[in-house]
């Protein structure tokens, strides 16, 4: 499993069924029960204090691993040796150098050689297990991505329409400016700047709103904070880039207007 040993030792042949009962715990449990102390050598008991469960000596501390889901906090964990606490069902994890499903039959053969009546079920690669674990987040990401793309297209079309309408309304003004010596690139810059100012104001308002609303989506995120500066910065830059393209097209048309035709416009 690649679980890192922090202190002490792992289970070995010394931990037989008739040996002293032992356990290996994770760092979260060690910090909770014995903060600032070495947990190796301590004793703990599972269940109620008055129960008849055995006291177990902590022989090792391992790094935290996910248990309830990749987006959940790591709980306190205690590992027990199979020789001392055999479960009714066992999950076998095998690391292979080939395609895991090609080795599945070999694993089943080994199990059947130990007990021919022991069923082997739900054999799958770890990639499939991880895919199932994040299926809800993946579906949410797809839905949100579709809505985001549609929203961006609507915003781009809307901004294009606003700038194009402004060009139409100010055709005569454009003719006057160009008749007085304004160059095409100056007219282009005028309309692009106005469009980008509008887009920048909207982006700023959107970022403020996103900083608050992303708290609602925090349960769908892992590996990134709801207010991650890099993510918000990339999104803002993308929005402004789309706005630039949406403004440039009608502004370029304005820069190519013939001054004589513009001055005759009603």
pLDDT of 238 reads 86
Cα–Cα distance, 35 to 136 (Å, whole number): 36
pLDDT of 58 reads 95
pLDDT of 117 reads 85
Tokens linked to 234: 């990339």
pLDDT of 28 reads 93
Of 28, 55, 86, the one marking the end of a domain is 86
H or E element that contains 230: helix 229-255
Q: Is residue 229 part of a domain?
A: yes
**DSSP assignment string, 59-70:** EEEE-----S-T
Q: Which residues of the chain have pLDDT under 50?
A: none
pLDDT digit string (tens) for 241-257?
A: 888 888 888 877 777 77
143 and 220 share a domain? yes
Q: Is residue 218 part of a domain?
A: yes
pLDDT of 156 reads 83
Q: Is residue 196 part of a domain?
A: yes
Q: Is residue 91 part of a domain?
A: no
Of 86, 121, 145, the one marking the end of a domain is 86
Tokens linked to 22: 């032992």
138 and 228 share a domain? yes
- Number of structural domains (the chain) is 3
Of 86, 108, 123, the one marking the end of a domain is 86
Q: Is residue 32 part of a domain?
A: yes
Q: SS3 of 7, please? A: strand
211 and 234 share a domain? yes
pLDDT of 79 reads 92
Tokens linked to 2: 């690649």
pLDDT of 53 reads 81
Cα–Cα distance, 114 to 88 (Å, whole number): 16
Q: Is residue 215 part of a domain?
A: yes
Domain containing 52 equals 5-86
């Amino acid at each position: 499993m690649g679980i890192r040993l922090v202190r002490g030792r792992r289970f070995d042949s010394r931990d037989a069924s008739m040996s002293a009962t032992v356990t290996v715990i994770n760092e979260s449990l060690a910090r909770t029960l014995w903060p600032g102390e070495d947990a190796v050598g301590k004793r703990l008991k599972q269940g109620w204090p008055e129960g008849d469960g055995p006291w177990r000596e902590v022989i090792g501390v391992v790094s935290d691993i996910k248990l309830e889901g990749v987006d959940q906090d790591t709980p306190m964990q205690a590992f027990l040796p199979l020789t001392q606490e055999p479960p009714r069902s066992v999950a076998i994890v095998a690391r292979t150098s080939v395609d895991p499903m090609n080795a599945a039959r070999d694993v089943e053969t080994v199990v059947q050689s130990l007990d021919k009546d022991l069923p082997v079920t739900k054999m799958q690669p770890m990639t499939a297990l991880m895919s199932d674990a994040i299926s809800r987040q993946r579906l949410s990401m797809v839905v949100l991505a579709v809505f985001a793309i549609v929203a961006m297209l609507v915003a781009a079309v809307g901004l294009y329409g606003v700038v194009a309408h402004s060009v139409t309304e100010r055709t005569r003004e454009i003719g006057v400016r160009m008749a007085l010596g304004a160059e095409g690139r100056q007219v282009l810059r005028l309309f692009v700047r106005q469009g980008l100012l509008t887009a920048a104001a909207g982006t700023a308002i959107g970022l403020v709103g996103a900083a608050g609303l992303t708290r609602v989506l925090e349960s769908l995120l892992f590996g990134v904070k709801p207010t991650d500066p890099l993510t918000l910065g990339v999104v803002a830059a993308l929005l402004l880039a789309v706005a630039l393209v949406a403004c440039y097209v009608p502004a370029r048309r304005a820069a190519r207007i013939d001054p004589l035709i513009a001055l005759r416009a009603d």
